[in-house]
């Protein structure tokens, strides 16, 4: 079966532009996560959805970051008025609903560069 | 103190040797532990999970967990050049709805 897919794979934005990043999770995966990975660092949690409900958005760095998953499948991470510090790889992961964590499966990521 | 700590490396081992990667965590309520492998420019790939004290083996990989000492390790036997990558340790803490907290990763280099 297909894995997690993300688009676009690369995005270059001018400072101040809005961007939208898309994630298609593995079919049947209830849980969906967004992470941000800076160069040389481990991924940092941004937000978590269980179906269409956003249960945790504690990792979103500012109110310029917004995520949605309106029908409980595809998710979009939107960044408004991008800044240079937003440059990073944005990773989406999905998993079955399982509180001990059988493991999250990551998409290829979107590399965002803000000029 | 970071929640999950790893030596950034690089850890260099010769082909065929055992690579030993270590990770410590600070939160005693951590309940699930994972090792991800990340090749340069790629996304993390899950290679091992462990939930209870002791060893768990899967092929050339062995994960070891010691909750009393708050460390988890990954052993790679018969290391191959294709094992050269960054290895990320990640934990899930009770009550955090399965979000992963990652270390910064250890870069492993397997030399010929």
The per-residue pLDDT for range A36-64, each reduced to its tens digit, is 999 999 999 999 999 999 999 999 999 99
Instruction: Give the CA count within 13 Å in the CB-facing half-sphere of A52.
Output: 3
Residue with tokens 């270590």: B22
Alpha-carbon distances of A19 from A13, A68, A81, A83, B108, rounded to whole Å: 7, 14, 8, 11, 35
Contact A101 B100 (CB under 8 A): yes
Q: Residue B80 in contact with residue B111, Cβ under 8 Å? A: no
Distance CA A66, CA B41 (A): 25
Name residue A31's beta-bridge partners: A50, A95
The per-residue pLDDT for range B1-24, each reduced to its tens digit, is 679 999 988 999 999 999 999 999
The per-residue pLDDT for range B33-91, each reduced to its tens digit, is 999 999 999 999 999 999 999 999 999 999 999 999 999 999 999 999 999 999 999 99
DSSP letters spanning A58-76: TT--STTEEEE-TTSS-EE
CB of A59 within 8 Å of a chain B CB? The answer is yes
CB of A38 within 8 Å of a chain B CB? The answer is no
């Amino acid at each position: 079966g297909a894995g997690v897919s993300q688009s676009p794979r690369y995005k270059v934005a001018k400072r101040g532009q809005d961007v939208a990043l898309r994630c298609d999770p593995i079919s049947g995966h209830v849980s969906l996560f967004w992470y941000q990975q800076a160069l040389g660092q481990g991924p940092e949690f941004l937000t978590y959805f269980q179906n269409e409900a956003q249960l945790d958005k504690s990792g979103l760095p500012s109110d310029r970051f917004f995520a949605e998953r309106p029908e409980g499948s595809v998710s979009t991470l939107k960044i408004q008025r991008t800044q240079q510090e937003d440059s990073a790889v944005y990773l989406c992961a999905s998993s079955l609903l399982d509180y001990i964590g059988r493991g999250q499966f990551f998409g290829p990521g979107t590399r965002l560069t803000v000029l | 103190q970071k929640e999950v700590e790893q030596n950034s490396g690089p850890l260099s081992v010769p082909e065929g040797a055992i690579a030993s990667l270590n990770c410590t965590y600070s939160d005693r309520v951590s309940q699930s532990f994972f090792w991800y492998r990340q090749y340069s420019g790629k996304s993390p790939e899950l290679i091992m999970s462990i939930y209870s004290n002791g060893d768990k083996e899967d092929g050339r990989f062995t994960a070891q967990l010691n909750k009393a000492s708050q460390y988890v390790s990954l052993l790679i036997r018969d290391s191959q050049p294709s094992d050269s990558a960054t290895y990320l340790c990640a934990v899930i803490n009770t009550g955090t709805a399965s979000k992963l907290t990652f270390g910064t990763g250890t870069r492993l280099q397997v030399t010929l």
